[in-house]
Structure 1
Amino acid sequence: MSAEPVERTADATEQAGWTASARSQTAAVVGLLDRPLTSYYLVLGCTMMLLGLGLTMVLSASSVSQLQKTGSAFTLVQKQAMWMALGLPAMWVAARLQVKAFRALAYPLLLLSAIALSMALIPGLGREAGGATRWIDFGFVQLQPSEPAKLALVLWGADLLARKEKLKLLTDWRQLLVPLLPATGVLVLLVMFGSDLGTTLVLLTIFLALLWVIGAPGRLFLGMSGLICLLVAILIVVEPYRMRRLTGFLDPSGDPLGDRYQGMQGLYAVATGGWFGTGLGESRAKWDYLPHAETDFIFAIIGEELGLIGTLVVLGLFGLLAYAGLRIARRVKDPFMRLAASGATAWLVVQAIVNIGAVIGVLPITGIPLPLVSYGGSALIPTLIALGMLLAFAKREPGARQALAARGPGPASRALSWLGLARR
């Protein structure tokens, strides 16, 4: 007997072993994704990792400018840590609320958001930044009311459509749009009076996501999408600084020291990072080359200091967050939870795409922050509350309650028990 058939048999056996191993590993990964608490841990894990990365990068991106302005490199990171200290307990509370509590908060939050957006337009009270009147200046603190308006629209729109679906009213296309479209229009108009196109895009994305999930007819959805595209085009044309941004984006040969300056500096920063980056804290762009490095363009500093690997990690985390949010929306039974989870996921993911797209030069600059990473408490706290809401919904997926009960008490409960303060 020749050695060649024996070698072929050995190769075939080895190949079969590799195939079986790959199949078993794939089955193990699929098994992990099918567990009841997968969504819960994905949302929690991605949130914590993005928060940690964001706090680190805010310190790195703002250290030079804050040292020049205030004499301390830690001014903004201390403020961001304070906002996190307020936002994380709010997220913890939201993760423990009942679904009816979110529905009860929807209408008051929408009304308060509309009032706050109106207050931002009052001369002397509203403050302009980057060409847009986005802030309410209370003296000791400045708030951006358009951020909680996103959460308000998610909750109110989901509650409205869920009630109509329960009453079987959504067979008429007019019931799909009234009063959802007028209310969204009021928020959009108030935001646009403050010249904030980025937030307008996010609000309109939430509106379209709610229509898509509730099952709006294709013609209606396409018609609304076309109308929104036309509206956005008009808003760009009528505002000179937006038109300059758009023409600067479309014309690579434009003035590199004018309207294209920020975008080009962001691209230079990302390109400088290479595969592994220049090292944490070693950015050159933050030395007064890149405007708004700690807010709108923090992704550029990540690309420069942590390289392609760092940017892929950020993209992966947002991808996992999107998967978890859509998984929650698909697995929960309650229509309100399905709509609210979809709306919140669309808000966070589209905002991240628009921010990152502007940094890498594939989308025009709109001035919206990168969720959980960019500096800013007005954006951070509503985002954490929305993620807490997703955690609350994840605990209501099939089998999740049983899995949580089998897991036993968490660290907080064990600590309270040790102190004699836990419920008996």
Structure 2
Amino acid sequence: MSYTANAPLLPRSDTSWFTEWRRTLDWGLVAGAVLLLFIGLLMSLAAGPSASTRIGYDDAYHFVYRQAALAAIGFTIMIVMSFLDRKWARRAATMIFFVSLGMMVIVLGIGHEAKGAQRWLRFAGFSIQPSEMVKPALILLCGWLLAQRELYPKGPWALIAFLFYAVTLGLLLMQPDVGQSALLTFAFIITFFVSGLPKRWVAVFAVGGGALAFFLYNLLPYVKRRVDMIFNPEPLDSYQLDKAAEAISRGGLFGVGPGEGLVKARLPDAHTDFIFAVMAEEFGLVAIIVLMAIFAMMAIRGFRASARIEDGYARTAAAGLFTLFSLQAAVNIGVNLAVLPPTGMTLPFVSYGGSSMVGMGLTLGLALALVRGEGTRSRGQYG
């Protein structure tokens, strides 16, 4: 019985950089990202027109066109980053980190303010949120720094990594952006844990994190209000969470049908933070289970690939990057299900948002670069 390949096979003698990239790239993760991007485009058709009407745009498909362009940009960034080897991934992340950090400083002075937060830089009709780029860059840079302890045990690598994290955290809290601060902190702790977290640092993180959470809850009224929405919602205005719950309950098992959702017209941020609720209403429980399964598949596949890497830098940084990606999805879904306080986080590759799309493309692209070959081949020292 003969077998004929449907596509030309790559000869083993072909060692070109493109062939090497094709052989070692995790196409399962790429397929998951593409599925999420297509779901995002579909949901922009569902939620975009009502959002355009509510905001006052003349073109009902304003957000649909922009979502398509942003999806192309996010996908391109992901693929371009995946071409990098581990040395150049670290170099690119270092440059992105310091540029983004500088932009975050500028934001505090001349940044655009919206909903009580000053997080964006606006120019030529576009806005950018530097914190979306600084997160993956910081995690990869810290992963490299922490791995240097294996080569140079006497160096202050952990202290340098912690200082970079502390400066970034401080700038985030000054915006303020408590949700992204918590996300970054958790990813940083996972990165530290994978690198071999000393016992004394466990106490530092536990005490410091608990004290910071206590002070933020008591010092920032909007943090207290959002947390109380979950634990004591009766006296508070929980309009968004109530509408999200209404949308999810109306969807039932198979939804009310594409474009037939009613709650999205009355739900603020339906095309961004609460796109999950819109999907639940129009496509039902089955659809959101499939969506969550895609995120779960990508998280499990990513963490398994990270665990197989022998290179300490790549293993540590990849684990932190996949934590950023998967935890942001979990937080967004948790907010829509009213089990977590509203945070303003988007659903990766699905929600509308230019900075979020760029940040997620960068996060997953750098992670793909680090797990190329799924840790089966050594790439030498840490670059």
Taking structure 2 as the reference length, what is the TM-score of the superposition?
A: 0.88
Aligned partner of residue 70 in structure 1, secondary structure: coil
Number of the residue aligned with 1:331: 308
Deviations along 1:313-340, one digit per CA (max 9) or x if unpaired, are: 1111111111111011111121121011
Gaps of 5+ in 2: 1-22, 379-383
CA gap of 1:277–1:193, structure 2 versus 1, over 3 A, is: same
CA–CA separation in structure 2 for the residues paired with 1:317 and 1:108: 31
Shift in Å, 1:374? 0.8
* Partner residue in 2 for 1:60: 46
Residue matched to 2:324: 347
| Aligned residue in 2 for 1:10 | none
Displacement after TM superposition at 1:305 (Å): 1.1
Q: Which residue in 2 is equivalent to 1:204?
A: 185
| Alignment counterpart, residue 138 of structure 2, candidates 150, 153, 176 | 153
Whether the aligned pair in 1 keeps the contact of 2:128 and 2:355 (CA below 8 Å) is yes
* Aligned-residue offset at 1:81: 1.4
Partner secondary structure for residue 178 of structure 1: helix
**For residue 418 of structure 1, what is the aligned residue in structure 2?**
none
Matched residue SS, 2:125: coil
Q: 2:297 aligns with which of 320, 329, 332?
A: 320
Choose the corresponding residue for 1:100, options 71, 87, 90. Answer: 87
Deviation digits for residues 11-52 of structure 1, max 9, x if unmatched? xxxxxxxxxxxxxxxxxxxxxxxxxx8981321111011111
CA distance in 2, matches of 1:337, 1:399: 12
2:58 aligned with 1:71: yes
Q: Which residue of 2 aligns with 1:194?
A: 175
Bigger Rg over Cα:
1
1:7-406 → structure 2 map (5 Å cutoff):
40-68=26-54, 69-122=56-109, 125-169=110-154, 175=156, 177-255=158-236, 258=237, 260-287=238-265, 289-397=266-374
Query: 1:134 is paired with a residue of what secondary structure?
Result: strand
Q: RMSD across aligned C-alpha pairs, in angstroms? A: 2.1
Conservation of the 8 A alpha-carbon contact between 1:355 and 1:370: yes
Question: Are the structure 2 counterparts of residues 263 and 217 from structure 1 closer, same or farther at C-alpha, using a change threshold of 3 Å?
Answer: same
SS in 1 for 2:108: coil
Q: 1:350 to 1:393 in 2, by over 3 A?
A: same
Hey, which bits of structure 1, 4+ residues long, moved more than 3 A? 398-401
Report SS of the residue matched to 2:222.
Answer: helix
Which one is further off, 327-336 or 104-113? 104-113
Rounded to whole Å, the distance in 2 between the matches of 1:210 and 1:314 is 26
SS of the residue 1:133 aligns to: strand
- Residues 277, 306 of structure 1: 8 Å contact kept: yes
| Partner Cα distance (1:231, 1:45) in 2 | 39
Tell me by how many angstroms 1:126 deviates. 0.8
Secondary structure of the corresponding residue to residue 135 of structure 1: strand
CA contact 1:43–1:390 (8 Å) conserved in 2: no
2:16 paired residue number = none
**Change in CA separation of 1:38 and 1:261 when aligned onto 2, cut-off 3 Å:** farther
Q: Which letter does structure 2 place at the counterpart of 1:73?
A: A
User: Match for residue 12 of structure 1?
Assistant: none
Q: TM-score, normalised by structure 1?
A: 0.79
Percent identical among aligned pairs is 33
- 1: CA distance between counterparts of 2:290 and 2:369? 26
SS at match of 1:241: helix
SS of structure 2 residue aligned to 1:293: coil
Q: Deviations over 1:162-221 (max 9, x none)?
A: 222222348xxxx46401222111111111110111111111112101111011134522
Tell me the number of residue pairs that the alignment of Structure 1 and Structure 2 aligns.
Answer: 356
Partner AA of 2:271 in structure 1: E
Structure 1 residue 147: Cα displacement = 0.1
